[in-house]
């Protein structure tokens, strides 16, 4: 009887995690196909000129879709699964978890279609979806938050495992963030600029960073079969991230009409961010110490190694980039786009992949091919590294041309070869995503067939 209940809970968890990851993978493919098209429009501006395929409509489809359709859905699914496994209990309110997935998908479909029809809520980056679409998404994430918190509340032991600190912190903050981003009276005047700084940077730092680190804090010890190096270092990184991050968004608006003191505070706190970044990186790396032969033989650990390296590199780069002298050259250039992909792709996306390869086979009992996982890893890693490298060089040349007061076209000519190289890098990344989608198919669909076969009466 108890064994049956346990078996049915495990099957329910596997089905839920599979559905979240399959859905996130669908959005990864759609939105990064759009990313590849966007990247080819730089060297070939006359490519695909219909209004439905115009740069202005496709760019927010790519950014909102990768953020919310792909990364948020994947991280919600992983957070719910991790809450149950680390708390030694079943998932709380499973129908709400399914409702959450449905609502986030309705929002992603409605957001993508309305943006492509030219309907948007203005130029506020990462919240161009119409307000009612964002409201649907907020309710969807809220449902995932309730399920995760409800599951942790049923935990077998009193202490809350460090991974759940991070995921619950992420859910708390993202709810505040999305509510603030929806209140109409906040969306006017200069106040809108500071609110946008708060929203856009915290979507990355207080949502994606928190939940991705939560996934790493659960998966790494599990894969290496050893405890996390230091619980205290994890807590220190958590609280310093929560103190410094909320204020740093204004570093995107240096030399703007925002108060000078706010810009300076954002720079000082950007330097303060070195504390959680160093503490978090050290904690995760020290957890793997002496286990590098396991890393080499594992499907998932190389993704974590790359993700942690990019966490360190991308975040430290962000601190340096926030200084006024650096902003004077790099602001508005392609350098920033390189930085965005170092963090959202090199860090967040690689950690998501590591957690998927670590946890999905455990849930479903199906392993992908080691060769194809290697192909995914290397195409994605070489692709993103090339992407970041060429945009860093191209963006710097752009900035130097602007600062020299030369004609604008000179900056376009200087960056053009690097934009072409970015399109090649983006194509490599997209091939990696197709391989990942096949691996997800192997890890999920046969499991569902096996479950269906089991459910059939003999």
Residues that bind ligand HEM (CB under 6 A): 32, 35-36, 38-39, 59, 62-63, 66, 71, 334, 336-337, 340-341, 344-345, 348-349, 426, 429-430
Q: Which is nearer to ligand HEM, 263 or 349 (CB)?
A: 349
Distance CA 76, CA 17 (A): 9
Q: SS3 breakdown of the chain: % helix, strand, coil, rounded to 5?
A: 85, 0, 15
Q: How far is the CB of 192 from ligand HEM (least distance, A)?
A: 18
Q: Which is nearer to ligand HEM, 128 or 229 (CB)?
A: 128
Q: Which is nearer to ligand HEM, 399 or 426 (CB)?
A: 426
| 199 contacts: CB under 8 Å, gap ≥ 6 | 124, 126, 127, 177, 180, 181, 249
Q: How far is the CB of 24 from ligand HEM (least distance, A)?
A: 10
Q: How far is the CB of 311 from ligand HEM (least distance, A)?
A: 14
- Residue facing ligand HEM at closest CB distance: 426
Q: Which is nearer to ligand HEM, 124 or 367 (CB)?
A: 124
- DSSP class per residue in 100-167: HHHHHHHHHHHHHHHHHTT--S-S-TT--S-HHHHHHHHHHHHHHHHHHHHHHHT-SSSSPPHHHHHH
Q: Which is nearer to ligand HEM, 126 or 218 (CB)?
A: 126
Q: Which is nearer to ligand HEM, 217 or 330 (CB)?
A: 330
Distance CA 78, CA 17 (A): 7
Q: Which two tokens stand for residue 238?
A: 């958590």
Long-range contacts at 91-96 (CB < 8 A, ≥ 24 apart): 91/9, 91/12, 91/13, 91/16, 91/147, 91/151, 92/146, 92/147, 92/150, 92/151, 92/153, 92/154, 93/146, 93/147, 93/150, 94/12, 94/16, 94/147, 96/143, 96/146, 96/147
Q: Which is nearer to ligand HEM, 73 or 97 (CB)?
A: 73
Q: How far is the CB of 39 from ligand HEM (least distance, A)?
A: 4
Q: Which is nearer to ligand HEM, 123 or 369 (CB)?
A: 123
H-helix segments, 225-300: 231-244, 260-272, 274-287, 292-297
Q: How far is the CB of 385 from ligand HEM (least distance, A)?
A: 13
Distance CA 45, CA 407 (A): 20
Q: How far is the CB of 9 from ligand HEM (least distance, A)?
A: 31
Q: How far is the CB of 383 from ligand HEM (least distance, A)?
A: 7
Distance CA 342, CA 339 (A): 5
Q: How far is the CB of 162 from ligand HEM (least distance, A)?
A: 24
Q: Which is nearer to ligand HEM, 32 or 194 (CB)?
A: 32
Burial class (CB in 10 A: 0-12, 13-18, 19+), 266: buried
Q: How far is the CB of 410 from ligand HEM (least distance, A)?
A: 18
């Amino acid at each position: 009887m108890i064994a049956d209940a346990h078996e049915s809970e495990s099957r329910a968890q596997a089905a839920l995690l599979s559905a979240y990851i399959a859905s996130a993978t669908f959005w990864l493919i759609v939105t990064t196909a759009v990313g590849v098209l966007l990247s080819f429009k730089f060297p070939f501006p006359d490519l695909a000129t219909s209004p439905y395929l115009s740069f202005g409509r496709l760019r927010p489809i790519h950014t909102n879709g990768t953020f919310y359709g792909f990364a948020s859905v994947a991280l919600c699914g992983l957070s719910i699964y991790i809450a149950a496994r680390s708390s030694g209990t079943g998932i709380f309110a499973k129908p709400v978890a399914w409702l959450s997935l449905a609502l986030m998908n309705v929002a992603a479909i409605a957001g993508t279609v309305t943006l492509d029809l030219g309907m948007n809520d203005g130029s506020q980056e990462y919240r161009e979806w119409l307000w009612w679409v964002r409201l649907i998404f907020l309710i969807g994430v809220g449902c995932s938050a309730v399920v995760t918190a409800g599951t942790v509340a049923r935990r077998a032991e009193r202490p809350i495992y460090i991974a759940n600190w991070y995921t619950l912190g992420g859910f708390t903050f993202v709810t505040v963030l999305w509510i603030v981003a929806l209140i109409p009276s906040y969306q006017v005047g200069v106040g809108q600029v500071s609110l946008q700084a708060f929203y856009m940077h915290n979507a990355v730092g207080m949502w994606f960073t928190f939940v991705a680190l939560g996934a790493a804090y659960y998966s790494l010890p599990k894969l290496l079969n050893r405890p996390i190096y230091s619980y205290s270092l994890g807590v220190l990184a958590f609280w310093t991230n929560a103190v410094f991050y909320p204020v740093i968004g204004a570093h995107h608006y240096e030399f703007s009409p925002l108060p000078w003191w706010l810009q300076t505070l954002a720079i000082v706190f950007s330097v303060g961010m070195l504390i959680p970044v160093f503490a978090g990186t050290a904690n995760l790396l020290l957890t793997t110490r002496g286990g590098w032969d396991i890393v080499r033989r594992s499907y998932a650990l190389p993704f974590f190694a790359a993700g942690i390296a990019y966490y360190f590199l991308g975040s430290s780069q962000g601190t340096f980039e926030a200084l006024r002298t650096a902003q004077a050259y790099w602001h508005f250039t392609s350098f920033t786009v390189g930085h965005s992909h170092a963090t959202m792709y090199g860090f967040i996306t690689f950690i998501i992949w590591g957690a998927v390869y670590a946890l999905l086979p455990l849930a479903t009992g199906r392993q992908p091919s080691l060769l194809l996982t290697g192909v995914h890893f290397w195409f994605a890693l070489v692709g993103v590294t090339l992407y970041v490298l060429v945009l860093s060089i191209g963006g710097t040349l752009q900035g130097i041309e602007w600062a020299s007061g030369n004609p604008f076209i000179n900056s376009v000519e200087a960056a053009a070869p690097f934009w072409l190289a970015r399109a090649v890098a983006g194509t490599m990344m997209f091939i990696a995503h197709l391989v990942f989608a096949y691996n997800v198919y192997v890890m999920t669909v046969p499991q569902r067939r096996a479950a269906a076969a089991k459910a059939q009466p003999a």
